[in-house]
Structure 1
Amino acid sequence: MNIIIAGAGRVGFNLARTLSIGHNVTIIDRNAEALHRLQESLDILPVHGDIEDPQTYRKLIDRSADLFIAVTDTDEANLISTLIVDDTIDVERKVIRLRNAFFAKSSIREKLSIDKTVFPLDLTSETVVMLLEYPKANNVKSFRHTAFKLISVWATSLKEAVRLETDRFDIVGIERGKRFFVPDRETLVEPHDLIYLFGDEEKIRALCRQFDTETPRSIDRCIVFGAGDLGIAIARRLIENGKDVKLIEKDMKLCETADELLEGEAMTLSCKYGTSELFEEEGLEYADMMIAATDNDEYNIIKCLEAQEHGIHKVVAVNNEREYYNLMHSLGIVVVRGPKMSAYNAILESMYSSGVIMERKFCGGKATIFLRNVFRHSHLIDQKVKPPKMKEGIKLYVIRHNELIDFTEPLLIEEGDVIVGFTAEEDAPKLKVWFYGL
């Protein structure tokens, strides 16, 4: 595909790095230094210029694009760029990143013929809110074609290795130390493994309570560090869910803004002079969950460690750098994709997914899920399908009538089936070929 990316920031860079393998990528930015760094490490075409200036696109006047992606930090710039590109270049699809939740409820997408709008603040906030329903879980993913969920949990309460008896769910991945792998039937779960369970959520929920006896069974009192846009968005969602929220920020102006936007429904505290005293003076150590939601990944890690020292068992760090993923898991910190990583993943998932096949990443990008829905007029109905030849490194199932069926032998496919596969990232291309070749 011919792809044009507007914005060479962290999201644009990560997209260019991924998409430049197998696609022709052009990236536009007015930061010449950022473009130079990209050109040094990636096979891309850099275009120096303002994405809001029509003259910038005249350099591409004879080109066509299969996809235009606008991912700067500014909503206005992203919106204007989609207008300009329509008048100067033949573009088939447009994807845009937006911060302001107002646009989610407006008709802006239809008016500007935008195919996909991504709201990273909402995505990150929603991930945090999911933890309210599953206090023992490390992460929860839902899917469009099935009620089954993918839920990860640390085996912190295990004293010795055990073999799980599965019923309407299965272990589809294990993170042990820095390594992720898809286990076979003989694999034992070891103490402190991070295990990924797929299937009936009630069955998995009961298992989570066995594996983690330290985290509170319900979350009612929450602390949010960081009163920027993300911290406010998370606090608002927690308040909407009836939780007691304390918002902590060292910048007094941000404290005042947050207090005004949240209409006083959260207690806003300044930590200008440090946070150790706040834990004792404000009773923060009695919180059920702490979320570090600043735009500084290192600071988020430090705040989570402070919270752990004061006795808070459920600590969540917003993360925009893959490099910190293993570190945070080794420290017992729940990792939530930050707005930049959420935007990056959402855009890739929208590109690689269709109405029939869905592709999702998990375990910090170390693993991939594929789902294929067998619709009413699918050519697969009443066909006997063989599983892929690759036997190791994958788990394959058919979901039928809310049951999870192992797909290890040829199977007659029925209408309404959902075929789902799990694999480590290095094996994902092979499994992807099989799914798309069905």
Structure 2
Amino acid sequence: MDIIIAGAGRVGFNLARTLSIGHNVTIIDRNAEALHRLQESLDILPIHGDIEDPHTYRKLIDKEADLFIAVTDTDEANLISTLIADDMIDVKRKVIRLRNAFFDRSSIRDKLGISKTVFPLRITSETVATLLDYPKANNVKSFRHTAFKLISVWATSLNEATVIEREGFDIVGIERGKHFFVPQDGTPVKPHDLVYLFGDEAKIRELCRRFDTETPRSIERCIVFGAGDLGISIAKKLIENGKEVKLIEKDMTLCETAEEKLEGEAMMLSCKYGTQELFEEEGLEYADMMIAATNNDEYNIIKCLEAKEHGIHKVVAVNNEREYYNLMHTLGIVVVRGPKMSAYNAILESLYTSSVVMERKFCGGKAVIFLRKVFKQSHLIGKKVKPPKKKDHIKIYLIREDRLIPFEEAETMEEGDVLVGFTAEEHAPKLKVWFYGL
């Protein structure tokens, strides 16, 4: 594909790095230094200029592009760039990153012919909110074509390696230390493994309670560190779910803004002179969950460690740097993708997901899920499908009538069947070929 990316910040850089493998990528930004770094490491075409200035696009006039992606930090810049691109370039699809949820409710997307709008603040906030329903879980993923869920949980309460009896679910991945692998049947779970479970959520909840006896069974009292846009968005979600929220911020201006936007429904606490006294004076140690939601990953880690030190078992850090993922897990911190990582992953998932095959990543990008449903008009109905010849490092299941069936032998496909596969990232290309080749 011919792809144009407007914005060479962290999201644009990561997209260019991923998409430049196998695609022709052009990236536009007014930061010459950022473009130079990109050009040094990637096979891309850089264009120096303001994405809101039509003059910047003169090199692309009358050219065709399969995809235009606008991912700067500014909604206005992203919207204007899509208008200019639409006018000067023959663009087939447009994807845009936006902060203001108003644009999701307006008709602007349709008027501008935008194929996909991504709202990273909302994605991150909703991810945090899912933890309210699954207090013991590290992460929860839902899917469009099945009620089954992918839920990860730390095996912190196991005292020894244990073979888990799997009924209504299966173990589709284990992160042990820094290594992720897809376990074979009979592989024991070891203490402090991060275990990925797929299947009936009621059955998985029972196992989660067995794996983790320390985390509260329900979450009612929440602390949010950081009163920027993300902290406010998370606080709103928690309040909507009826939770008690205390929002902590050292910048008094942000405190005042948050107080106004939240209409006094969250208690605002200033930590201008540190947080040590706050834990004792405000009773923060009695919180059920603490979320560090500043735009500084290192600061988020420190706040989580402080909270754990004061006895809070469920600590969540918003993370925008993949390199901190392993460190956070080693420290027992729940990791939630920050707005930048959410934007990057949401855009890639929209590109890699077709009307036939859905592709999702998990375990911090170390693992991949493929999912394919047999629709009413599918050519697969009545066809006998065989599993891949080499089954190492992968697990494939057939979901039929709410049953999770290991896909180990040839099966005749029926309408409504769902095939779902799990594998580590390094083995994903082979599994992807199998799913698309059905």
What range describes the TM-score normalised by the shorter chain of this pair?
Answer: over 0.9
1:199 aligns with 2:182: no
Name the residue aligned to 1:55. 55
* Corresponding residue number in structure 2 for 1:18: 18
Q: What SS does the corresponding residue of 2:346 show, helix, strand or coil?
A: helix
- Runs (4+) of structure 1 exceeding 3 A deviation are none
Q: Report % sequence identity.
A: 83
Q: Which runs of 5+ in 1 are unaligned?
A: none
Residue 64 of structure 1 pairs with residue 68 of structure 2? no
- Give 1:178's aligned residue: 178
1:8 aligns with 2:8: yes
Aligned to 1:212: 212
What CA deviation, in whole Å up to 9, does each residue of 1:51-79 have, x standing for no partner?
A: 00111111111421000000000000000
Q: Which residue of 1 aligns with 2:93?
A: 93
Verify: 1:335 aligned to 2:365, yes or no.
no
**What residue is the counterpart of 1:114 in the other structure?**
114
Aligned equivalents of 1:109 and 1:411: distance in 2?
42
Residue 279 of structure 1 corresponds to 279
| Aligned-residue offset at 1:186 | 2.3
2:256 aligned with 1:256, yes or no? yes
Distance 2:283 2:91 in 1: 55
The DSSP-based 3-state class of the residue aligned with 1:280 is: helix
Distance 1:100 1:355 in 2: 28
Q: In the alignment, what sits opposite 1:429?
A: 429
The answer as to 2:228 corresponding to 1:228 is yes
What's the counterpart of residue 28 of structure 1? Answer: 28
For residues 32-55 of structure 1, the C-alpha deviation after alignment (integer angstroms, 9 at most, x for no partner) is: 010000000111000001100111
Q: Which runs of 5+ in 2 are unaligned?
A: none
Letter matched to residue 344 of structure 2: Y
Instruction: Report the secondary structure of 2:210's partner residue.
Output: helix
Query: In structure 1, the residue corresponding to 2:126 is in which secondary structure?
Result: helix
Equivalent-residue separation in structure 1 for 2:311 and 2:241 (angstroms) = 24
CA distance in 2, matches of 1:126, 1:389: 39
SS in 1 for 2:56: helix
Match of 1:316 in 2: 316
> TM-score, normalized by length of structure 1?
1.00
Q: TM-score scaled to structure 2, two decimals?
A: 1.00
Name the CA distance, whole Å, in 2 between partners of 1:142 and 1:225. 27
Please state how far the C-alpha of 1:389 moved relative to its aligned partner: 1.5
**Match status 1:140 vs 2:140:** yes
Counterpart secondary structure, 2:5: strand
Q: Which amino acid is the alignment partner of residue 3 of structure 2?
A: I
Structure 1 residue 413 displacement after superposition: 0.8
Matches within 5 A, 1:399-438: 399-438=399-438
Query: How far apart, CA to CA, are the structure 2 residues paired with 1:397 and 1:390?
Result: 15
Q: For the residues of structure 1 that align with 2:428 and 2:398, how far apart are their CA atoms?
A: 18
- CA shift digits 1:289-324 (9 cap, x unpaired): 000000000000000000000000000000000000
Tell me the distance in 2 between the aligned counterparts of 1:63 and 1:366: 36
Counterpart-to-counterpart distance in 1, 2:166 and 2:21:
39
Q: Deviations over 1:227-278 (max 9, x none)?
A: 0000000000000000000000000000000000000000000000000000
Where 1:215 maps in the other structure, the secondary structure is coil
CA distance in 2, matches of 1:17, 1:131: 31
What is the CA–CA distance in structure 1 between the aligned matches of 2:390 and 2:127, rounded to whole Å?
A: 33
SS in 1 for 2:151: strand
Cα distance in structure 1, aligned partners of 2:72 and 2:326: 28
SS of aligned partner of 2:303: helix
Letter in 2 for 1:366: K
3-state SS in 1 of match to 2:141 = strand
What value does the CA root-mean-square deviation take over the aligned residues?
0.5
- In the TM superposition, residue 355 of structure 1 has moved relative to its aligned partner by 2.0
The separation in 1 between residues aligned to 2:108 and 2:144, in whole angstroms, is 24
Q: Is 2:269 the counterpart of 1:269?
A: yes
Letter of the structure 2 residue corresponding to residue 185 of structure 1: D
Distance 1:171 1:17 in 2: 32
Q: 2:236 & 2:203 partners in 1: Cα distance?
A: 31
Q: Distance in 1 between matches of 2:87 and 2:351?
A: 23
Partner SS for 1:131: helix
